[in-house]
Chains A and B, each alone.
Chain A
């Protein structure tokens, strides 16, 4: 293996490393530096201002409002998505009709899985634009459905009281299918005998889910949690395209704040980078925290 090894290592490794360092590593490093300047973008020069941007941020009500929304998303989106994902995955894996202690999947399970996964392969742009039409106050799918039942429909995205929940619903809608597939894969790794034994002992479906499935799936659930938490802290594209943070900042999230600050009417690049740095540390702490809190003993089947 010795001879001729170095030419290959150099030609195979140098181009990707250069590309990666130039477009990924260097911007990340620069972001931290820019966040300590008062840079206003295109022409004006940047003066170091230390932590002044972070001080402004601390007193910025718009940022706090956006953070509050992110916090609600963080509290609700992972819980709802995981609960629904586990529920449907369980239904698919053990909802089938069979003898007393048999554990079978539901008929047509593969079809359900295929369909549920649809939103995951669609671009967020399409999901956002489509749901914007579904929520359309005049000819939207949802509006006319509510009218058909004879109820007055709210203006959905146009009303500060409902807009946020409409966006939240789309976030859950677009994610559930993926976690059904993920949990389903994890469940199929659990030996069937475990379930059959538990069911034979007379445990109810709910008890089985709570005492057997969930503990066995804990690793997967935890990973799902981390990713949904990161998703909930972002939420940028969906919000920007569906409501652009409105009406009256009711759906604003920290990502939209940052994008507006950097590329909106004013180009406050220094301040935007400071928001980015805060987002970075928030994301990191949420990830570390959920991994810490969720740590349990790993179960292995043998």
Chain B
């Protein structure tokens, strides 16, 4: 603290009689702000930390002393969750579906956005607003008919159905964000490439896509998180076959069965398995995740 304060002493600050109360106020504000900030930080971390710690305890330890540390690291909880409660399988299911849906979303979103941003044609505005209008509507309203649309297409209880639906519902934001992004790219590069005899398709894949990479990464992370965290759509569109379930459904089932079995440690281990990769992705790509998410909310 003191070492950091020193440079300010060197800077000749206009010292007036009013300086003292201000300084005292700053000191109080500083202590207060650290207190409040620390408090909220603990409030945020504590439940998560508790979950991790509890996942290594025995059920007896969890019941006897919720705040205590585990006597030994009971890794068998994780094994029970991964194989016994099939969390491993649901995890891989989610991975397959999300990989498919994010790829499809990015491909379709980028191509559509590119056309909207770079080409003039009749009805462009209408189609664009048709897409972006989707940002406005709550998924709820579509839920009942969507169930039948998917069923009549023969896609009920299939991963392909989920992939297509995830992609379709992510298009509004993806198109909106990427259209704005493609507009910011310099036109001169595109024109030069066309003059050099580059075709329109090649121009897109070889020139425009690489240039748009920062935007694409932000949107892809945004879509990854929202698809990975999706609960409502699988719950409605993937009701039957348990072996096909998504992670969120599996965790919910685990939580319900835990109520009868009393195996708390297994539930905490299951939750931890679901949390860890997401936190890892977040910590690794913090800046992009925050940019994508804040842009996602701001539209």
Digitize A255-286: 1 where CB-to-B-CB distance is under 8 Å, 0 elsewhere.
10011001100000100110011011001100
Question: A121-B289, A130-B51 known; A9 and B25 CB under 8 Å?
Answer: no
- Is B279 a contact of A118 with CB atoms below 8 Å? yes
- SS class, residues of chain B in contact with chain A: helix
Q: Interface residue count for A (Cβ, 8 Å)? A: 102
Q: Which of chain A's residues has its CB closest to B204's CB?
A: A8
Whether A116 and B137, one on each chain, are in contact in the complex, defined by CB atoms closer than 8 angstroms, is no
Task: Evaluate whether A106 and B37 lie within 8 angstroms (CB atoms) in the complex, with A12-B115, A100-B13, A118-B48 already known.
Answer: yes
Chain B residues, Cβ within 8 Å of A17 = 112, 127, 130
By a beta-carbon cutoff of 8 Å, the part of chain B in contact with chain A is: 1, 4-5, 8, 11, 13-15, 18-19, 22-23, 25-27, 29-30, 32-34, 36-37, 40-41, 43-48, 50-51, 62-63, 65-67, 108-109, 111-112, 114-115, 119, 121, 127, 130-131, 134, 136-138, 140-146, 148-150, 153, 164-165, 167-169, 171-172, 175, 191, 194, 199-201, 204, 225, 228-232, 236, 248, 251-252, 255, 264, 267-268, 271, 274-275, 278-279, 281-283, 286, 289-290, 293-294, 297-298
Q: Per-residue 0/1 for A1-31: is the Cβ within 8 Å of any B Cβ (1 yes, 0 no)?
A: 1001101110111011101111111111011
Closest 5 CB pairs of A and B: A95-B33, A123-B229, A23-B168, A30-B145, A12-B111
- How many residue-residue contacts, CB under 8 A, span A and B? 273
Contact A20 B171 (CB under 8 A): yes
A20 adjacent to B282 (CB under 8 Å): no
Assess the A129–B229 pair: CB atoms within 8 A.
Answer: no
Given contact pairs A20-B171, A125-B251, A237-B232, A91 touches B36 in the complex (Cβ within 8 A): yes
B45, B111, B248, B290: the one within 8 Å of A16 (CB): B111
Contact of A141 among B50, B131, B252 (CB under 8 A): B50
- Asked if A25 contacts B13 (CB within 8 A), the reply is no
Can you show 11 pairs from A to B with CB atoms below 8 A apart?
A5-B200, A17-B130, A20-B168, A30-B149, A91-B37, A100-B22, A112-B37, A114-B286, A121-B293, A280-B138, A287-B136
Chain B residues whose C-beta falls within 8 Å of the C-beta of A100 in the assembled complex: 13-15, 19, 22-23, 26
Question: Which residues of the partner chain B approach A9 to less than 8 Å between Cβ atoms?
Answer: 115, 119, 121
Contacting A144 at CB < 8 Å: which of B67, B175, B267?
Answer: B67
Chain A residues within 8 Å of B194, by CB: 1
The answer, yes or no, to whether A204 is at the interface (CB within 8 Å) is yes
- Tell me the minimal C-beta distance from A219 to chain B in angstroms: 10
- Whether B144 lies near A34 (C-beta < 8 A) is yes
Known: A12-B115, A119-B44, A185-B294. 7 other contacts (CB 8 A): A27-B143, A91-B36, A117-B282, A121-B225, A141-B50, A258-B140, A269-B144
Whether A97 and B5, one on each chain, are in contact in the complex, defined by CB atoms closer than 8 angstroms, is: yes
**Complex: A130 Cα to B40 Cα, angstroms:** 18
Pick the residue among B51, B267, B297 that contacts A182 (CB under 8 A). B297
Distance in angstroms from B148 CB to nearest chain A CB is: 8
> CB distance A205 to B293 under 8 Å?
no
Residues in A with CB closer than 8 Å to B111 are: 11-13, 15-16
